[in-house]
């Protein structure tokens, strides 16, 4: 609203023509009402309420009191009541009747106290005077308050009317009869460009008025008022000249008479230019809407309050997918969901309201489509709905959202700080700033200088200034403070989102940490110096020439080789190199100057070294446009390489010769396994050449696995290692081979070819299978040994328990003792078998060579086993010829072999069966044959029956499985062999021993040696010392020898034995070898032998019974060596022999 609208015709000040600045009446004099109105204007605008009004009333009364005391005594006594009345009335005018009432009360209080109207004692006249004064104050205050309220109402109404006139659609102004402007509203100000300076003067309105009663237009409003007396109102048609345009208006002029201001005219006009333009636009819009509805550019349809579709254009049908023959939907519910129906207000009401455009989805025969809907009410009951296809926009928005998300993810994942700012400097995004600096984001890039190194702050301010002023991209390098507290080099880059044409409203850029790059550049600068030193120290000749073949730099080796004096910079090629080198290298240099790398090997005649092969490489140095700006020359002495190539060719020939002569199949293939080379061994074994694959001769069952192993090794770049059966061309047999191949890789870690060998491991696999079987037999042997040892031990323990019973009779005791003896002999046989197989395996068994008659051996064995055969109800017979059958060998070992065969035959026979033992001579060999009719032997068991720990599954006697193995080994030591024959289970078996026939000589006795020598009628007794750390063995042996009449003592270690020997002086010492420290048996023997000489008999009694053990015992001073467990008879016989020797020695002395 313009300022002129606040000034009305009634309160506008009037000015005379002679004094435009003075407020006066028409004659230049100001009337009293105008003077009073002028003075009261500030007070009339003042209005207080609440406590402020009460404070104002008190202040006015206080002012009256001050005036009363300030005036002279005579004048002050006459002034007080008008002063206080004025204070009361002003309080009521400003603060209302309550403030006036307060001021009246204060006036009475002051009249009584401050300047007493009456003095006590008071009478009724004084009270009446005070009441009169109070009544005058109250009535006057109330009148002033009501007058102020009326004035406020009038002013409020006047302001209300002024605001109404400002808001009416017409231009209203008031002109007096002199043509001076008294009032105008905002529309009039806009129409005639009026302001407050146009009030109260003739503005010369540029208007032309027509009315029905005149033929000529009016030139001014003043003329119209003067020429038309009386009160009237005229309709007018006007044209307002507003500048260069003419604005059509309609309106009226009304004459008004006012006693204060005189005659005036009220002009109200309305600009109909906008109405005419609006009419034309409505008509044009209606034509366009009709054309739009008839077209298919925009989808249109109309609905009523219940959602029924009354009309739909072709564009809407095409948008929803309704064909020309498919018709149109009848209701909005067919194409919209419930939420959209509720949003459109289709609820049965008759109120049609307009909706701004919003996005939604509609359904049709072609599916759901995104549209932007706008609803416009046509009638209270009908709505027109506009639909625009926004599917492409939705897809674009989705793509934009996805792109923004990817950009933010990329920015967050980037190592740089991404920032975005407005042209004012306000930062709108700082991704990564807090992670880099450890501080919260900044508000503006104007704060960047506070975060940079003090030495870079000027550059930072220049950068900020450039961001404020420039519209091109900016780049700079600054040192920002890092979260670690150090300053790091940062590359600042910023680009304008909108170009200069659009005003460059935003910046986007990065702060990239280039600290490491700067450090690398500094390191590179130092490395360049090092590189130059290195190039000078390199044995190669290196030089750099520009595009015109003028030298710019050369290392010391180059200048020294070619004998160049001084610096080569700026010197052409022909001036530096010899003529023959220039002519030789000219063509290669031209190739490099055209931008290609060239290399040439040539023979150079060096003045000192003679002919030398040189390899020269020219490499072009290209600029950023790909143009040659220089050539790098590298000359290498390749004489050594030529010599190495010659040596390599010789080495290759040697390796090829080696590959042809190795006992393995050697081959080379490509990455796919196709053979490229194979040696002669491959051709001999497979009968194939190198045209196929290395897996072609493999067994069909192994071929696929070999190909898979090759692919896996190629993928993992590792060695190929697989076992494959290859077909031998000579007989078609498949033999196992170990295939090993190593890949040759190129620079990109891809397999170029395979180098492989095939090693025949058939024999090795057979040996491994044999080892597995031996391990299985060993495991079985250990289990069997545990079983065989536990059985006699259990019997021994049970027998000992039985002997402890006192009620046992003598017969029972004899049976128990027999059982103990049998089990002890069984344990001895087990131990002997284990010792024999151990000695045979280690090759430490001793075989004597005597002439033996096999007939006697067989007869003695059959006689010894006759009782056992009878016990098993088996018939045992022996068939030997009359002539002797002599062989060379150990009688005890030959008898041991025959004992084993006969014992097994009896065990394998059932009661009533027959075991036949016979001997014969076949050519140069003598045979002992043992045949039974027992369980027999399976065909598969024949191959392993003579192996250690081997037993048939149905063998009746579970032993260690060592007997036949010992027989086989002992016979082999005698130069013979063992054989077996059987037709299968329950068909019996025949075992035979073949030994070479002896050439001649007397036969030794095959009878077993006697355990007890012949003794004299009077047995020898003496002192015996037993040295044994096993208490049970020592006590048992002590009891045994004491029964023989000997004086027996026992020592448990070597120290006690030496002490007892010195005190008792025994005749015989039986000493164990494995005594506890500090003295073992050998040391005891040495000391006793040194102390007694031959006056004592020393016998070693130990579990160590090998030939080496016996030799060590004899060397230590023992006279003889017995191996545990020895029979009591053997021990007694050894003591008797020792006593006899000692007695004989003493008698001889």
* 1001 & 855 share domain: yes
Residue 1027 pLDDT grade (very low, low, confident, very high; cuts 50, 70, 90): very high
**Residues 445/532, Cβ–Cβ less than 8 Å:** no
Lowest mean pLDDT of 135-144, 246-255, 605-614, 977-986, name the range. 246-255
Residue 8 pLDDT grade (very low, low, confident, very high; cuts 50, 70, 90): very low
β strands within 325-397, DSSP E: 355-364, 367-379, 382-389
Mean pLDDT of 161-169: 70
Choose among 1050, 1042, 1061, 1063: nearest CA to 1128: 1042
Q: How far apart are CA 312 and CA 754, in angstroms?
A: 78
Would you say residue 940 has pLDDT above 60?
yes
Would you say residue 628 has pLDDT above 50?
yes
Residue 962 lies in a domain: yes
Residue 22 lies in a domain: no
Which one is predicted more confidently, 200 or 964? 964
Neighbours of 427 (CB within 10 A): 19
Mean pLDDT of 443-465: 86
Give, to the nearest 10 degrees, the angle between helix 762-803 and helix 810-842: 160
Question: End of a domain among 980, 1009, 1038?
Answer: 1009
Mean pLDDT of 200-216: 53
Structural domain of 153: 46-164
User: Helices marked H in 1073-1127 — which ranges?
Assistant: 1081-1092, 1107-1116
Residue 244 pLDDT grade (very low, low, confident, very high; cuts 50, 70, 90): very low
* 856 & 888 share domain: yes
* 1036 & 1128 share domain: yes
**Residues 685/698, Cβ–Cβ less than 8 Å:** no
Would you say residue 81 has pLDDT above 70?
no
Q: Per residue in 542-570, pLDDT tens?
A: 888 998 889 888 888 888 888 888 788 88
Residue 534 pLDDT grade (very low, low, confident, very high; cuts 50, 70, 90): confident
Q: Per residue in 496-506, pLDDT tens?
A: 876 444 454 68
CA angle 819, 824, 830 (to 5 degrees): 130
Which one is predicted more confidently, 942 or 974? 974
* 506 & 595 share domain: no
Strand 1023-1027 relative to strand 1047-1051: parallel, antiparallel, unpaired? Answer: parallel
Q: Per residue in 829-866, pLDDT tens?
A: 767 767 766 666 666 677 777 888 888 889 888 888 88
Residue 724 pLDDT grade (very low, low, confident, very high; cuts 50, 70, 90): very high
Residue 807 pLDDT grade (very low, low, confident, very high; cuts 50, 70, 90): low
* 316 & 247 share domain: no
Question: In Å, how far are 640, 651, 695, 747 from 645, measured between CA atoms?
Answer: 9, 9, 34, 22
* 299 & 350 share domain: yes
Structure token pair of residue 284: 């044009």
Which one is predicted more confidently, 75 or 729? 729
CA angle 242, 248, 250 (to 5 degrees): 120
What is the maximum alpha-carbon separation in the chain? 202
Would you say residue 431 has pLDDT above 70?
yes
Question: End of a domain among 704, 730, 760?
Answer: 760
Residue 717 lies in a domain: yes
> To the nearest whole percent, how much of the chain has pLDDT over 70?
75
> To the nearest whole percent, how much of the chain has pLDDT over 90?
9
Would you say residue 131 has pLDDT above 90?
no
Residue 741 lies in a domain: yes
Question: In which residue are the tokens 């110096």 written?
Answer: 529
Would you say residue 241 has pLDDT above 80?
no
Would you say residue 616 has pLDDT above 60?
yes
**Judging by beta carbons within 10 Å of its beta carbon (0-12, 13-18, 19+), is residue 329 exposed, middle or buried?**
buried
- What is the total count of domains within the chain? 9
Measure CA 122 to chain center. Answer: 109
Out of 156-170, 183-197, 519-533, 885-899, the most confident range is 885-899
CATH number of the domain to which 1004 belongs: 3.30.565.10
Which one is predicted more confidently, 911 or 92? 911
Q: DSSP for 828-861?
A: HHHHHHHHHHHHHHHT------EEEEHHHHHHHH
Residue 34 lies in a domain: no
Lowest mean pLDDT of 294-303, 721-730, 1011-1020, name the range. 1011-1020
Q: Per residue in 651-690, pLDDT tens?
A: 777 777 776 777 788 888 998 889 988 888 888 888 888 8
Q: Per residue in 1121-1131, pLDDT tens?
A: 988 877 788 88
Residues 6+ apart with CB under 8 A from 573: 545, 549, 550, 551, 582, 589
Quick one: pLDDT at residue 1070? Answer: 93
Lowest mean pLDDT of 252-261, 398-407, 1092-1101, name the range. 252-261
Q: How far apart are CA 235 and CA 252, in angstroms?
A: 4
Question: End of a domain among 960, 982, 1009?
Answer: 1009
Mean pLDDT of 1019-1027: 86
Quick one: pLDDT at residue 741? Answer: 92
Mean pLDDT of 571-593: 86
Structure token pair of residue 590: 């031209």
Q: How far apart are CA 896 and CA 903, in angstroms?
A: 10
> To the nearest whole number, what is the mean pLDDT of the chain?
77
984: left (phi over 0), alpha (psi -120 to 50) or beta: left
Which one is predicted more confidently, 252 or 1069? 1069
CATH number of the domain to which 685 belongs: 3.30.450.20
Structure token pair of residue 880: 């030997």
Mean pLDDT of 751-772: 87
Q: Per residue in 762-805, pLDDT tens?
A: 888 888 888 887 777 677 667 666 656 666 666 667 667 667 76
* 287 & 377 share domain: yes
Residue 200 pLDDT grade (very low, low, confident, very high; cuts 50, 70, 90): confident
**Residues 756/694, Cβ–Cβ less than 8 Å:** yes
Quick one: pLDDT at residue 1082? Answer: 92
* 607 & 744 share domain: no
Would you say residue 18 has pLDDT above 50?
no
Residue 126 lies in a domain: yes
Q: DSSP for 680-741?
A: HHHHHHH---TTSBTTTTB-HHHHHHHHHHHHHHHHHT--EEEEEEEEPTTT--EEEEEEEE
Would you say residue 1010 has pLDDT above 50?
no
Quick one: pLDDT at residue 114? Answer: 63
Q: Burial code of 101-139, b = ≥16 C-beta within 10 A, e = fewer?
A: bbbbbbbbebbbeeeeeeeeeeeeebeeebeebbeebbe
Kindly compute the dihedral angle of the four CA atoms of residues 921, 925, 930, 935, in this order, to the nearest 10 degrees.
-130
Neighbours of 1002 (CB within 10 A): 8
Q: How far apart are CA 1113 and CA 1121, in angstroms?
A: 7
Would you say residue 240 has pLDDT above 60?
no
Choose among 928, 934, 937: nearest CA to 862: 928
Out of 149-163, 272-286, 698-712, the most confident range is 698-712
Residue 224 lies in a domain: yes
Quick one: pLDDT at residue 261? Answer: 56
* 231 & 184 share domain: yes
Out of 37-46, 577-586, 884-893, 1060-1069, the most confident range is 1060-1069
User: Helices marked H in 915-1004 — which ranges?
Assistant: 963-973
* 205 & 290 share domain: no
Helix/strand/coil (H/E/C) assignment for every residue in 172-195: EEEEECCCEEEEECHHHHHHHCCC
Would you say residue 1071 has pLDDT above 90?
yes
Which one is predicted more confidently, 887 or 803? 887
Q: How far apart are CA 767 and CA 770, in angstroms?
A: 5
Which one is predicted more confidently, 1011 or 251? 251
* 76 & 154 share domain: yes
Residue 819 lies in a domain: yes
Q: How far apart are CA 322 and CA 328, in angstroms?
A: 7
Q: How far apart are CA 797 and CA 808, in angstroms?
A: 16
* 271 & 226 share domain: yes
Quick one: pLDDT at residue 19? Answer: 37
Quick one: pLDDT at residue 327? Answer: 73
Would you say residue 36 has pLDDT above 60?
no
Would you say residue 424 has pLDDT above 90?
no
Structure token pair of residue 166: 């400002």
Length of the chain: 1149
Which one is predicted more confidently, 708 or 985? 708
Residue 27 pLDDT grade (very low, low, confident, very high; cuts 50, 70, 90): very low
Which one is predicted more confidently, 227 or 182? 182
SS3 89: helix
Whether the predicted model's global pTM rises above the 0.75 cut: no
């Amino acid at each position: 609203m313009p300022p002129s609208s606040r000034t009305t015709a009634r309160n506008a000040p009037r000015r005379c023509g002679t004094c435009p600045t003075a407020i006066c009446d028409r004659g230049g004099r100001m009337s009293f009402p105008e003077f009073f109105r002028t003075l009261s204007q500030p007070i009339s605008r003042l209005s207080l309420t609440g406590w402020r009004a009460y404070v104002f009333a008190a202040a006015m009364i206080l002012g009256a009191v001050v005036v009363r005391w300030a005036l002279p005594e005579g004048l002050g006594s006459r002034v007080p009541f008008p002063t206080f009345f004025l204070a009361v009335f002003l309080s009521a005018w400003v603060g209302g009747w309550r403030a006036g009432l307060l001021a009246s009360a204060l006036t009475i209080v002051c009249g009584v106290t401050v300047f007493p109207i009456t003095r006590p004692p008071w009478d009724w006249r004084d009270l009446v005077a005070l009441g009169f004064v109070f009544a005058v104050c109250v009535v006057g205050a109330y009148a002033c308050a009501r007058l102020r309220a009326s004035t406020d109402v009038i002013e409020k109404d006047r302001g209300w009317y002024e605001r109404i006139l400002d808001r009416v659609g017409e231009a209203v102004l008031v002109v007096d009869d002199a043509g001076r402007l008294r009032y105008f509203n905002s529309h009039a100000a806009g129409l005639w460009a009026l302001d407050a300076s146009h009030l109260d003067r003739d503005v010369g309105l540029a208007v032309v008025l027509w009315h029905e009663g005149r033929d000529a237009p009016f030139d001014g409003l003043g003329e119209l008022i003067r020429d038309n007396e009386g009160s009237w109102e005229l309709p007018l048609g006007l044209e307002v000249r507003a500048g260069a345009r003419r604005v059509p208006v309609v309106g009226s002029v009304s004459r008004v008479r006012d006693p204060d201001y005189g005659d005036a005219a009220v002009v109200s006009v309305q600009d109909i230019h906008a109405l005419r333009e609006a009419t034309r636009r409505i008509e044009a819009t209606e034509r366009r809407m009709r054309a739009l509805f008839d077209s298919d550019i925009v989808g249109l349809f109309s609905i009523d309050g219940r959602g029924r579709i009354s009309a739909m254009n072709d564009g809407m049908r095409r948008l929803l997918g309704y064909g020309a023959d498919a018709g149109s939907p009848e209701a909005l519910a067919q194409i919209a969901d419930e939420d959209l129906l509720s949003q459109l207000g289709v609820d049965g009401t008759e109120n049609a309201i307009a909706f701004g455009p919003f996005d939604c989805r509609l359904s049709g025969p072609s599916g759901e489509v995104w549209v932007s809907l706008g609803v416009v009410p046509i009638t209270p009951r009908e709505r027109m709905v506009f639909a625009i296809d926004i599917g492409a926009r939705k897809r674009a928005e989705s793509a934009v959202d996805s792109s923004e998300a990817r950009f933010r993810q990329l920015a967050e994942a980037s190592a740089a700080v991404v920032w975005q700012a407005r042209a004012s400097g306000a930062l709108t995004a700082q991704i990564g700033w807090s992670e880099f600096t450890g501080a919260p984001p900044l508000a503006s890039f104007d704060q960047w200088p506070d975060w940079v190194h003090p030495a870079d702050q000027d550059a930072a301010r220049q950068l900020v200034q450039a961001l404020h002023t420039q519209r091109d991209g900016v780049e700079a390098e600054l040192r920002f403070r890092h979260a670690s507290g150090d300053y790091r080099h940062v590359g600042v880059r910023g680009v304008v989102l909108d170009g200069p044409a659009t005003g460059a409203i935003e910046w986007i850029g990065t702060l990239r940490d280039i600290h490491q790059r700067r450090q690398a550049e500094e390191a590179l600068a130092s490395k360049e110096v090092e590189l130059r030193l290195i190039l000078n120290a390199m044995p190669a000749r290196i030089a750099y020439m520009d595009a015109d073949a003028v030298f710019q730099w050369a290392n010391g080796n180059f200048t020294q080789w070619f004998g160049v004096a001084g610096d080569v910079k700026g010197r052409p090629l022909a001036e530096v190199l010899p003529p023959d080198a220039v002519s030789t290298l000219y063509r290669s240099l031209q190739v490099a100057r055209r931008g290609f790398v060239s290399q040439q090997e040539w023979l150079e005649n060096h003045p000192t070294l003679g002919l030398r092969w040189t390899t020269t490489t020219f490499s072009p140095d290209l600029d950023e446009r790909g143009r040659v700006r220089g050539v790098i020359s590298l000359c290498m002495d390749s004489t050594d390489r030529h010599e190495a190539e010659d040596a390599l060719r010789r080495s290759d020939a040697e390796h090829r010769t080696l590959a042809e002569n190795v006992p393995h199949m050697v081959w080379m293939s490509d990455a796919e396994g196709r053979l490229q080379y194979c040696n002669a061994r491959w051709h001999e074994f497979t009968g194939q050449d190198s045209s196929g694959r290395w897996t072609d001769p493999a067994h069909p069952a192994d071929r696929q696995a070999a190909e898979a192993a090759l692919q896996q090794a190629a993928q993992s770049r590792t060695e190929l290692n697989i076992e494959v059966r290859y077909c031998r061309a000579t007989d078609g047999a498949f033999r196992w081979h170990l295939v090993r191949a190593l890949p040759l890789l190129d620079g990109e870690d891809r397999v170029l070819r395979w180098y492989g060998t095939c090693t025949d491991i058939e024999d090795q696999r057979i040996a491994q299978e044999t080892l597995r079987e031996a391990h299985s037999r060993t495991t079985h042997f250990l289990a069997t040994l545990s079983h065989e040892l536990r059985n006699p031990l259990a019997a021994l323990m049970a027998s000992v328990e039985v002997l402890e019973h006192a009620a046992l009779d003598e017969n029972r005791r004899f049976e128990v003792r027999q059982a103990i003896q049998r089990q002890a002999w069984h344990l001895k046989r087990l131990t002997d078998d284990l010792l024999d197989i151990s000695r045979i395996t280690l090759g430490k068994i001793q075989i004597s060579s005597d002439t033996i008659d096999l007939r006697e051996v067989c007869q003695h064995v059959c006689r010894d086993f006759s009782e056992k055969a009878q016990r098993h109800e088996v018939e045992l017979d022996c068939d030997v010829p009359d002539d002797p059958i002599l062989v060379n060998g150990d009688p005890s070992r030959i008898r041991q072999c025959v004992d084993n065969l006969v014992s097994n035959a009896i065990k394998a026979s059932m009661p009533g069966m027959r075991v036949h033992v016979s001997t014969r001579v076949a050519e140069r060999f003598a045979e002992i044959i043992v045949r039974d009719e027992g369980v027999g032997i399976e065909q598969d068991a024949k191959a392993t029956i003579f192996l250690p720990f081997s037993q048939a599954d149905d063998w009746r006697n579970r032993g260690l499985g060592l007997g036949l193995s010992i027989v086989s080994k002992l016979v082999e030591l005698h130069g013979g062999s063992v054989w077996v024959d059987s037709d299968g289970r329950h068909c019996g078996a025949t075992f035979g021993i073949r030994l070479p026939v002896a050439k001649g000589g007397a036969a030794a006795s095959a009878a077993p040696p006697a355990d007890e020598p012949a003794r004299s009628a009077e047995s020898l007794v003496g002192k015996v010392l037993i040295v044994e750390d096993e208490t049970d063995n020592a006590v048992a042996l002590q009891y045994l020898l004491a029964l023989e009449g000997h004086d027996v003592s026992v020592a448990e270690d070597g120290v006690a034995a030496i002490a007892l020997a010195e005190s008792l002086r025994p005749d015989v010492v039986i000493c164990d070898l494995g005594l506890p420290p500090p003295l073992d048996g050998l040391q005891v023997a040495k000391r006793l032998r040194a102390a007694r000489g031959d006056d004592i008999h020393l016998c070693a009694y130990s579990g160590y019974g090998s030939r080496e053990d016996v030799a060590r015992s004899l060397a230590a001073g023992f006279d003889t060596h017995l191996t545990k467990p020895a029979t009591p008879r053997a021990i007694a016989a050894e003591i008797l022999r020792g006593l006899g020797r000692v007695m004989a020695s003493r008698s001889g002395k």
